Chain A
Amino acid sequence: MASRIVAFNLNGRDVEVMVKPLTTLQTVLREHLHLTATKSGCRQGGCGTCTVLVNGEPMLSCLLPVEDIAGQQVVTLEGITPVEGLHPIQQAFFDNYAIQCGYCSPGMIMIIKALLDRNPNPTRQEVMDAIAGNVCRCTGYESILRAAEDAARRLQSA
């Protein structure tokens, strides 16, 4: 099957990639564009480490053929990381030790960003619902919940 060009907006910049049909957004990000903050824990839709935002909605990039997001807005963890310092959600993860091995952290931060964008003041229950598809094998989630709540406070007072 022939490759074709797909254009979309990535972290505020227009990009074009040449891909075979059914190539996932994850593969495009990690292998074609070398943006490796988006992780690859399962490629089965089961871990959430590959979470990115498409038009502001959290999506599992490992299940998403890149053709399906042609012309749309994609934001990855690279896109919310400031040149200097940290995004308030990143700072909250850092300050609350919500990171151990760190492999789930990019996906967790993106899913919490999606949550806080539409619900700036979530309850603990709402945070749990939001991250329920993201696996963390290290922390037991407690510090991640704390970080999400801390991030909400920081963003609101910012």
Chain B
Amino acid sequence: MAKLRGTGIAAVNYPTGMNLGGDPSQALIHATTTGTFVISLSSTDLGQGLKTVIAQIGAETLGVPFENVLIDTADTDTGPHCMGTFASRATHRVGNAVIMAAKEARKVMLEVAAEELEASPDDLDTDGQGNIYVKGSPERKIDITSVALAAHFKYGRSISGRGMYIKPKSPVDPETGKMDPDSTEAHACVVAEVEVDTETGEVTVLSLKSAYEVGCQVNPALVREQIIGGAFMGMSHALYETTAPYYPSPDHAPGSFSEYVIPGPHELPHIESVVLEYPSVNGPYGVKGVGEMTANAPIPAIINAISNAIGVRLTEYPVTPEKILRALERSPKLKQPAQTGA
């Protein structure tokens, strides 16, 4: 019996969005009488935090406090079309649509403020705290509630905007595969350290140390949670999960959480990551998609680490204890116990 240690690395790219028949999302923004901005969408939050980051992007572009922005989603009667939440696309696509809508609404807001302040709209700016002021003389200012009230009841103006972002369809050339299937690429590199118990075939992932490059982060805490949750799912894929434990045999298909093997908190490795920010060319505030990639890179890193530990190259996942014990029979690192019989 021995415990073998190994390290493995993996470096990956992950595309943001897709081009399926054109990949659009829309946003509509309007201000209420008192200067609350409602962003209407039909987009879905899977738990990654879309409702939060979209409000951040909207507030930033409008130049109003985060608290003044409401997200109204998802209802097909009131929210304009969104392709959906998948392909690491939502923050990129919906964010871009919201920026466009917010710029249009902001323009009206500044025009109304300009009337009230007797200034030119070009000379105005927002302070992000709920005021619009004259650049260079910040004491000449008006609060957003007063601007919204004036727009509604004095000038008859709708402080609103429409936003539409589309990644146009790129047909795939059937002969060469020439295509433009995505908007940008995020990148990750993971270093995994594992320990393999040669008696039981069990693998302990000791650590996952990784660098993620995700464009700019709208909300670093939410990016962090994607990275940790994704790393855990990647580890789970690498070592445990499948609906067909003896693929291609369809037998032993699990029907419950007791049968479908997913690791729990005890299996959580030490996870350390660094996030690099290189703004993307076309993402809102330089964003790239992060949601899917975080689960991808740990898989080969862990499997390479196991191969490194046992001295046998593994070529499939999940690498269950049974598969590791079989691989160990071929390992030059282990002295074979004397075999009896054939």
Q: Which residues of A contact B (CB under 8 A)?
A: 42, 44-47, 97, 99-102, 127-128, 131-132, 135, 137-145
Contact = CB atoms under 8 A, between A and B. Distances in A.
B256 A144 contact: no
Contact of A143 (B225, B256, B266): B225
A77 to B, nearest CB: 18
Nearest to A45: B258
A45 B221 CA distance: 32
B225 A132 contact: no
B257 A100 contact: no
Interface in B214-253: 221-222, 224-225, 228-233
A144 B257 contact: no
Contacts of A45: 258
A101 B46 CA distance: 6
A100 B265 contact: no
Given A44-B257, A46-B256, A139 B228 contact: yes
B271 interface: yes
Given A99-B47, A139-B229, 7 more contacts: A44-B257, A47-B257, A137-B262, A139-B232, A140-B229, A140-B230, A142-B228
A142 B271 contact: yes
A51 B257 CA distance: 15
B257 A140 contact: no
B264 interface: yes
A63 to B, nearest CB: 12
B257 A145 contact: no
Given A128-B266, A142-B268, A142-B271, A97 B225 contact: yes
Interface range, B side: 20 to 34
B257 A46 contact: yes
A101 B226 CA distance: 12
Contacts of B308: none
B48 interface: yes
Contacts of A141: 232, 264-265, 268
Contacts of A135: 257, 262, 264
A143 B228 contact: yes
Given A97-B222, A97-B225, A140 B233 contact: yes
Contacts of B222: 97
A139 B268 CA distance: 11
A131 B221 contact: no
A39 B228 CA distance: 24
Contacts of B271: 140, 142
B231 A46 contact: no
A42 B229 contact: no
A100 B47 CA distance: 4
A44 B233 contact: no
Across the A-B interface, the 5 shortest Cβ-Cβ residue pairs? A140-B232, A101-B47, A46-B257, A100-B47, A141-B265
A99 B25 CA distance: 26
Contacts of A97: 221-222, 224-225
A44 B221 CA distance: 34
Given A97-B221, A100-B47, A102-B47, A138 B257 contact: no
Contact of A42 (B48, B232, B256): B256
A135 B229 CA distance: 13
